[in-house]
C-alpha cells in the first residue's frame, strides 16, 4: 500500500474537502465523508485541523489564492472598483450562501480578518485614482471606502440567487463614485 505523507497527503485532503464542498455543500459535508473520499481516517484530518470549519477554510484558501494579490489597475477608478466587486461576486458565488452562513456560524473568529483585507484593496484603488487626479482626495471616510464591498457582501449574504451585474454598477455609480468624486460637504 502506497502511503501518502507530508505535503502530498495534505493536498489530497484539501482537494477532497473542496470536492466534497462543491458536491454536497457545507451542511452535508462531514469529516467522515471527507476522510472516506481521501481514502484515509478521521484522525488524519483531526491531526491537522481542529474541526470542520477550519478544514473547509483551509480547503478554500488552498483552492483559490488570495484576492489581495493583483489589485485591479485599469486606469479608471470606476473600472477598478467594478473589477474588485466582480471578483468578490465571482468568488462567493462559487461557494454559495449556505457554505458562507455555515462557516460564519461555526468559525466566528475568522470573519473580521477576511473583510478587513478588502479595505486595503479599496484604499490602494482610491489612492491611485487620487494620484491620477481623478478624484480630489484619497482622504475618504472609512465607511465610504468600504461601502461598495460591504454592500456587495451584504447582498451576497442575503440573496440566494447570483448577484446581477446591474447591482454592481449601481453600487459604483449611484453610491461610491458620487461620494468620492464631488465629496460635497453638506451645507447644514
Interface contacts to its own copies, rule CB under 8 A: 27, 97-98, 101-102, 104-105, 108, 111-112, 115, 141-144, 147, 150-151, 153-155, 157-160, 167, 170-171, 173-175, 177-179, 181-186, 188
Q: Does 39 sit near DNA (CB under 7 A)?
A: yes
The total number of residues shown for the chain amounts to: 188
Which grid cell sits at 105? 456560524
Phi, psi at 63, each rounded to 5°: -75, -40
CA distance 134 to 180: 10
- Residue 27 partner contact from its own copies, DNA, none using kind-dependent CB cut-offs of 5 to 8 Å: its own copies
Among 11, 23, 28, 173, contact with DNA (rule: CB under 7 A): 28
Query: Cell numbers 453610491 label which residue?
Result: 175
Beta carbons within 8 Å of 69's beta carbon, 6+ residues apart: none
| Among the listed residues 142, 110, 150, the one whose alpha carbon sits nearest the alpha carbon of residue 123 | 142
In the complex, minimum distance from the CB of residue 154 to DNA, in angstroms, rounded to a whole number: 28
Q: Does 9 sit near DNA (CB under 7 A)?
A: yes
Pick 5 or 186: Cβ nearer DNA: 5
Q: Does 2 sit near DNA (CB under 7 A)?
A: yes
Pick 25 or 36: Cβ nearer its own copies: 25
CA distance 158 to 160: 7
State whether residue 110 is helix, strand or coil. coil
Among 15, 19, 22, 31, contact with DNA (rule: CB under 7 A): 31
CA distance 6 to 21: 23
Q: Does 108 sit near DNA (CB under 7 A)?
A: no
The residues that touch DNA, with contacts defined as CB under 7 A, are 1-6, 9, 28-32, 38-44, 46-47, 51-52
Amino acid at each position: 500500500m502506497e502511503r501518502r505523507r507530508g505535503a502530498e497527503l495534505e493536498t489530497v485532503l484539501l482537494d477532497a474537502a473542496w470536492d466534497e464542498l462543491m458536491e454536497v455543500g457545507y451542511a452535508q459535508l462531514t469529516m467522515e465523508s471527507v476522510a472516506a473520499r481521501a481514502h484515509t481516517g478521521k484522525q488524519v484530518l483531526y491531526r491537522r485541523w481542529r474541526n470542520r470549519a477550519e478544514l473547509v477554510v483551509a480547503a478554500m484558501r488552498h483552492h483559490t489564492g488570495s484576492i489581495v494579490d493583483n489589485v485591479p489597475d485599469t486606469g479608471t477608478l470606476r473600472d477598478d472598483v467594478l473589477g474588485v466587486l466582480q471578483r468578490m461576486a465571482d468568488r462567493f458565488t462559487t461557494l454559495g450562501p449556505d457554505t458562507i452562513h455555515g462557516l460564519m456560524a461555526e468559525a466566528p473568529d475568522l470573519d473580521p480578518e477576511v473583510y478587513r483585507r478588502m479595505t486595503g484593496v479599496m484604499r490602494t484603488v482610491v489612492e491611485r485614482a487620487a494620484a491620477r487626479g481623478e478624484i480630489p482626495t484619497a482622504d475618504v471616510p472609512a465607511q465610504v471606502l468600504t461601502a461598495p464591498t460591504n454592500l456587495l457582501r451584504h447582498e451576497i449574504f442575503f440573496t440566494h440567487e447570483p448577484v446581477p451585474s446591474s447591482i454592481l454598477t449601481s453600487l459604483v455609480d449611484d453610491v461610491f463614485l458620487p461620494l468620492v468624486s464631488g465629496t460635497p460637504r453638506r451645507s447644514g
